[in-house]
Structure 1
Amino acid sequence: MASCKMQMILALCPFVMLVTIPATYGWGTDGHSIICKIAQSRLSNAAADAVKQLLPKWVEDDLAAVCSWADRVKFRYRWSSPLHFINTPEICSYRYSNEDGVADRCVAGAINNYTSQLLTYNSASNEAQYNLTESLLFLSHLMGDVHQPLHVGFAADKGGNTIDVHWYKRKAVLHHVWDTNMIETAEERFYDSNVDSMVDAIQHNITGEWAKEVKRWESCSLNKTACPDIYASEGIKAACDWAYKGVEQKSVLEDDYFLSRLPVVHRRLAQGGVRLAATLNRIFG
């Protein structure tokens, strides 16, 4: 697996089909904030200190405040747009391979590359700290993106971006339903429109209902620091089993869809937060 350590980060994702870049904002601002809040609460002392040193001073040690930074800089860093997603062929499985020797950029490769960059933290010069700050912000954001099922969706519909639906009475595209609509609807209906209340509910499940699964979520095969292939494999399965299932052009998505899919949203947000923390803990020791 090759990577290019330049301002433009390159990753080998040959099985991935790179098509016209859709306007994707994985999980929306609240979703990314939830993931970063969960992650920061689970950092080791060493990782918490490194994150504090790398974060811009003005955020006052609040990773969630800049968890959507990578979306906001897409128009300045145009090369970064493909790093937010993987467009897979129209099959419900994922494989990261270099069999065809075609170099593409994608979220799995970007997670590997930014992880590698952050591993230089203890030996980096002061001049390199700015680049490592950007690496931290990209990694924190992209770890969320890879857990949004439609960021590992089909190339044919650009991860649900070309599937027009109605979210209750409002026009939307399927991708945006998963990025934003379901989280906002859940906040309004169950959490008094308070993102921190939703974080608390997910944290309660992490230490309760899902407690026996957390170690497996945190683990990484073959002593790797990050395992985006695992996260992406889960993502395309969730996309097929839940996001795409039963949806056609002009479908009206209401309570049947929302209430049956919300547990999947909660779980993927939880996994993203737990795994971001575990990855940062491995990076910073």
Structure 2
Amino acid sequence: MNMLKKIKISLLAIGLFYVPLQASAWGIIGHRVVGQVADYYLTAKARKGVQSVLGSETLAMSANWPDFIKSDTAFNYLSSWHYVNLPEGLDQKGVFNFLETEKTANIYNKIPEMVATLKSSKSTAAEKKMAMRLLVHLMGDLHQPMHTARKDDLGGNKVTVTWFGQKSNLHRVWDEQLVDYQQLSYTEFAAAVNHPTAAQLTEWRAASLKQDVYESYMLCNKIYATTKADDKLSYRYNFDYADALYTQLAKGGVRLAALINAIYK
């Protein structure tokens, strides 16, 4: 095989590996941070329950499975589960009403289904494993604010911006680039953000799933208001939003643990 052909094959292999990862919500690191934070808050019963479902697979390592399988068309039906498109200009009551009436499969109405599957004695081991992986992932997605964004711009995917001079879009900035800019492994990241106060823990755990969506939506609205098409994002954007990023990742982990603890109480 000549050298040129080898290079072409190598580039193709890299491309095939790279494409699915670009579709990852929160990116690989962000989702693993949420899973790692959640692991810290599991009760003994919940930890045992998770191990009975996932075996040696940790919450952090299970977190990206629903993105990894996006290249398999058999799982195309899961695509709308990762987000809920909300119209602009809603108050809290408007968001709650929308969630109650929207019948399209979305992140809000699918999370309870995963919980029910895990609780049911009739669920098979395979069904429970898939439900746990999806639950971990979807609770991470729910706290990525651009997963509660507008339908007309595909959750910010059509809002073109640059990130440190590189062409990007608003959704990708929040999925991956803002997280990756911190230059932390997922274990380092989890350790860095996992410092909620006692009051925050109480508040986050007590929030309903509707409230979780509303909080992400409110942050999403702020992002839309402060980030416009063709904006050049770099150091200042990180300065403005790093704390919100840290809070969302920590909040997602705490709330994921609260859901799992409730399943195995």
- TM-score, normalization by structure 1: 0.79
Q: Does structure 1 retain, via aligned residues, the 8 Å contact 2:32–2:63?
A: yes
Change in CA separation of 1:103 and 1:147 when aligned onto 2, cut-off 3 Å: same
Change in CA separation of 1:70 and 1:161 when aligned onto 2, cut-off 3 Å: same
Q: Distance in 1 between matches of 2:126 and 2:215?
A: 33
Equivalent residue number for residue 89 of structure 2: 91
Q: Does structure 2 retain, via aligned residues, the 8 Å contact 1:90–1:156?
A: no
Equivalent residue number for residue 179 of structure 1: 175
Q: Distance in 1 between matches of 2:147 and 2:25?
A: 7
Change in CA separation of 1:198 and 1:99 when aligned onto 2, cut-off 3 Å: closer
For residues 38-72 of structure 1, give each alpha carbon's deviation from its aligned partner in whole angstroms, at most 9, with x where no partner exists: 101110111100100100x4xx2422112010112
Equivalent residue number for residue 264 of structure 2: 284
Q: How many residues align?
A: 240
Shift of 1:137: 0.6
Equivalent residue number for residue 12 of structure 1: none
Give the secondary structure class of the aligned counterpart of 2:162. strand
Equivalent residue number for residue 232 of structure 1: 213
Give the secondary structure class of the aligned counterpart of 1:171. strand
Equivalent residue number for residue 143 of structure 1: 139
Q: Does structure 1 retain, via aligned residues, the 8 Å contact 2:29–2:185?
A: no
Q: Does structure 1 retain, via aligned residues, the 8 Å contact 2:82–2:147?
A: yes
Change in CA separation of 1:108 and 1:172 when aligned onto 2, cut-off 3 Å: same
Change in CA separation of 1:267 and 1:98 when aligned onto 2, cut-off 3 Å: closer
Change in CA separation of 1:165 and 1:79 when aligned onto 2, cut-off 3 Å: same
- TM-score, normalization by structure 2: 0.85
Equivalent residue number for residue 44 of structure 1: 43
Equivalent residue number for residue 62 of structure 1: 58
Shift of 1:90: 2.3
Q: Distance in 2 between matches of 1:267 and 1:279?
A: 18
Deviates more, 1:95-104 or 1:154-163: 95-104
Does 1:194 pair with 2:185?
A: yes
For residues 217-258 of structure 1, give each alpha carbon's deviation from its aligned partner in whole angstroms, at most 9, with x where no partner exists: 0114xxxxxx321111001100112x2222222110112211
Q: Does structure 2 retain, via aligned residues, the 8 Å contact 1:150–1:159?
A: yes
The runs of 5 or more residues in structure 2 that have no matched partner are: 1-21
Does 1:215 pair with 2:237?
A: no
| AA matched with 2:119 | L
User: For 1:66-81, what aligned pairs fall within 5 Å after superposition?
Assistant: 66-74=62-70, 75=72, 76-81=74-79
Change in CA separation of 1:230 and 1:46 when aligned onto 2, cut-off 3 Å: same
More helix by share: 2
Q: Distance in 1 between matches of 2:231 and 2:215?
A: 25
Q: Does structure 2 retain, via aligned residues, the 8 Å contact 1:36–1:273?
A: yes
Deviates more, 1:82-91 or 1:266-275: 82-91
Q: C-alpha root-mean-square deviation of aligned residues, in Å? A: 1.9
Equivalent residue number for residue 80 of structure 2: 82
Equivalent residue number for residue 106 of structure 2: 106
Equivalent residue number for residue 15 of structure 1: none
| AA matched with 1:25 | S
Q: Does structure 2 retain, via aligned residues, the 8 Å contact 1:92–1:240?
A: no
Q: Distance in 1 between matches of 2:125 and 2:213?
A: 29
| AA matched with 1:35 | V
Q: Distance in 2 between matches of 1:45 and 1:195?
A: 23
Identical positions, percent: 26
Equivalent residue number for residue 223 of structure 1: none
